[in-house]
Structure formats: C-alpha cells, structure tokens
Structure 1
Amino acid sequence: VKVGMGIKNEFGDTGFDAFDSWSAGSEQYKPSDIKSTWRSIKAGGGTTIATVFKMAKDNGFVMKREPVSPEEQARLKKEFAKRAK
C-alpha cells in the first residue's frame, strides 16, 4: 500500500500501471484487489515517491548513473520546462 501511496502522490491516476506492474510480482496478486486498493488511495497524502525510493534502496536497489549527452540534457530541460508550466 505504501508503494501505491507514493506512486499515486507523484503521478496521480496515471501511475496505476506502475503500481499494478509492481504488485504483479507478488504471489498473492489479484487484479481486483489492486484496483480496489488504488481507488482507496488519496493523492497528496504524507507518503511520497521519496518513500518508495527509500524502500527500494533499503531492499537492495542501486541507482545506476549513466552519462547523459548534451543533446539529451537539452531535451530533458525542455521537457521539464514544459511540465513546469
């Protein structure tokens, strides 16, 4: 549920596919339960995407940093500015 809360807080309803995909890794996965859980989560709660990253790190996830080309940096800055509007 915490993962779902962090995802929904960051991405709103567009984050459902990520939550569903992550949840499918469980042996107890039931699509109807995931949809019900997702509907019960309110965006803007106290659990953020930072919580999700911390949980991942605590369980062995290591972020890989790869160099970004100047062209990709420019594209990302443009996309960020567009989203910020």
Structure 2
Amino acid sequence: MSTKDQILKKIEILITNHFETPKKAFEFFDSNGDQKLSKAEIKNLLQEAEISGFIRGIIASKLIEGYDKDGDQLISWSEFKAAIDEISQ
C-alpha cells in the first residue's frame, strides 16, 4: 500500500467512524461555515485522521491540487464528495 493510499485510508476511517455522513464531516471541518474547506481546515481534518504534523501541509496542498476543480484553492462540498467517492472505491 502506497503512502497516498495509507493517508486516504486514514481519512476514510476518520469519516466513517466519527461522522454519520461525509456531509457531516465536511460541515464539521468547515469551521468558518463558508461551504468550502481551506488549506487550514484540511490540515485540521488531517490532524484528526492522525496524519503526521510534519507532512500535513504538503498533503493538504496535494489534496487541493488534486481535487480543486474550479481553481479557487478551496475544496467545495462537491469536490470533497468526489474525493470521498474515489477513496471509497
């Protein structure tokens, strides 16, 4: 299992074990309520998923780079859902 797969698995475990739905997880980590996850909010999610602090910033940037389809440097609910759907496959 690659490091990427391990990280995605930790995120999946966090969401399935601690939240009723992925939408509830998204809303929980959207601390300012703007319906988008910023890099800082994604880093909080990664911290809760027990991803090492050393690499959290890099991973948050990579997640934004990989899933931010509209180029605003934020992850919307639809982008988050697409990521979760990919992780769950």
**TM class, shorter-length:** 0.3 to 0.5
Normalised TM-score (structure 1): 0.34
